[in-house]
Amino acid sequence: MPGIVTSLWFDSQAVEAARYYCSIFPNSTITSDLADPGSGHGSAGDVVTVDFVLDGRAFNAINGGPMFTFTEAVSLLVPCGDQQEVDHYWSALTADGGEESQCGWLKDKYGLSWQIVPTELSDLLGDPDRARADRAMRAMLEMRKIDIATVRAAAHGGEDPRAGT
């Protein structure tokens, strides 16, 4: 069975965006591009599509023109093992014109939505102790970038059980 590839529509910044994303994520590279042979879509030789890999996952980007833009209805979720990863991806993807949103969501400078989420968050929000889960949820809802220590502390009644470890 063939793999599924996420395809992203850009006005004219597909190559620039692919390079940008590959510079942020490990194990990433541009694998190929396809130039316009002079079909009338753009200028002969302009890149029409670019294939790239972000941390082992295949993507395709197209220079399709301005008729379609990104919306929050689709986002890329980046599960992060710790706060350092959250901080890294958050800073990199909001740089140069990106926009912070709420609860770990942001838009990069191209308008693509991302969710930068510590993997521990799902455990805190799904805690079988509903009071702990509710405190974690309330803390998260007040944030833009997720601060997992703060969410953890809120879940445990104000003290981070991992503090000092």
Q: Are residues 7 and 32 in the same domain?
A: yes
The rounded Cα 39 to chain-centroid distance in angstroms is: 34
Which two structure tokens, joined as six digits, stand for 13? 């910044």
Which two structure tokens, joined as six digits, stand for 141? 């809802």
Give the pairing of strands 47-54 and 57-63. antiparallel
Instruction: Give the residue numbers spanning the domain of 155.
Output: 70-165
Whichever domain contains 99, its CATH number is 3.10.180.10
Mean pLDDT of 39-50: 74
Cβ atoms of residues 96 and 135 within 8 Å:
no
* Number of domains composing the chain: 2
- The tens digit of pLDDT for each residue in 83-127 reads 999 999 999 999 999 999 999 999 999 999 999 999 999 999 999
Mean pLDDT of 15-19: 97
Stated pTM of the model = 0.89
Segment (H or E) for 115: strand 113-118
